[in-house]
Amino acid sequence: MKKLIIKFGFIGAALVVGIPLLSIAITGTGTDSFVVGEIIGYSTIVIAMLLIIVAQVSYRKEQDGLLSFGDAFKIGVGISTIGGLAFGLYNTVYVLVIDPDFNEKYFAYSMGLERGTPEFEQQF
């Protein structure tokens, strides 16, 4: 079970980190990329978490069709933990290194403000 969790966990981690990095390489980090980034980001998370089902089916086949709730739960928690830790690490690196102004840009974008305007300066 450990090998299965590690295998599918790291596949999920590669997806939740790799696809957003690819998206950044294609669309950049400007405010124009926020809508596309949200769609790609949430879709990637859903796809990566569907790996839990694939892993559970694979484990059930290995166990001659038997899969207890406890084993299914362990597989799900293990894969989710690996993917979640990778995504958290990626977001930390993104906000601190790749795009340090992300929080201000996204806040301005969500409030409909343009950076450099008096309204934006008043908020910050």
CB atoms within 10 A of CB 57: 11
Of residues 30 and 122, more confidence is placed in: 30
Amino acid at 78: G
> Which residue range(s) make up the domain with 9?
2-123
Confidence tier at 74 by pLDDT (50, 70, 90): very high
Residue 5 tokens read as 């969790």
Domain count of the fold of the chain: 1
pLDDT of residue 62: 94
Most confident range (mean pLDDT) of 29-43, 74-88, 108-122 is 74-88
Q: Can you give the chain as a three-state secondary structure string?
A: CHHHHHHHHHHHHHHHHHHHHHHHHHHCCCHHHHHHHHHHHHHHHHHHHHHHHHHHHHHHHHCCCCCCHHHHHHHHHHHHHHHHHHHHHHHHHHHHHHCCCHHHHHHHHHHCCCCCCHHHHHHC
Q: Could you read off the pLDDT of 1-59 as tens digits, one per residue? A: 999 999 999 999 999 999 999 988 888 887 778 888 888 889 998 999 899 999 999 99
